[in-house]
Amino acid sequence: MDELDRLKPLLQMAFYMIDKLRRFRLSREKKLKSDRNRQKVEKLFLQSTHQQRQEAAQMKREEKRRAEKEKMLQEMDPEKQRKWEEKEYKREMKKKIPKMKQLKVKAM
């Protein structure tokens, strides 16, 4: 019961604030400014979460590649190792090639 007595003023203040805020009105400029600030904060939050997801995905890809490389290096068959290295080399070279936009040519 002692704990409830301590929380009672806090609850009363919360209800008082709710009643006051209901009557509170912002001017058009202040409302626009607060909306812009909310949008800015939301945009920053989405950017940071997107960045974190990208970093996590990159780490996962690197870990997968590292595990695959370690597995192939422990493989005793040199022919398999050579084929895997060639495949990795081709993949890396394909990544390095700049991407070009393909234009469709209409027949006249």
Angle subtended by helix axes 78-96 and 28-74, to nearest 10: 150
pLDDT of res. 8: 92
How does residue 108 score in pLDDT terms, banded at 50, 70 and 90?
low
CB count within 10 Å of CB 41 equals 10
The answer to whether the CB of 9 falls within 8 A of the CB of 17 is no
Residue 58, SS3 per DSSP: helix
Q: Give the span between the Cα atoms of 11 and 8, in whole angstroms.
A: 5
pLDDT digits (tens, 9 = 90+) for 12-68: 999 999 888 888 888 899 889 999 999 999 999 999 999 999 999 999 999 998 898
Global pTM reads 0.48
Tokens of 100: 């070009």
Spatial CB neighbours of 34, under 8 Å, sequence gap ≥ 6? 26
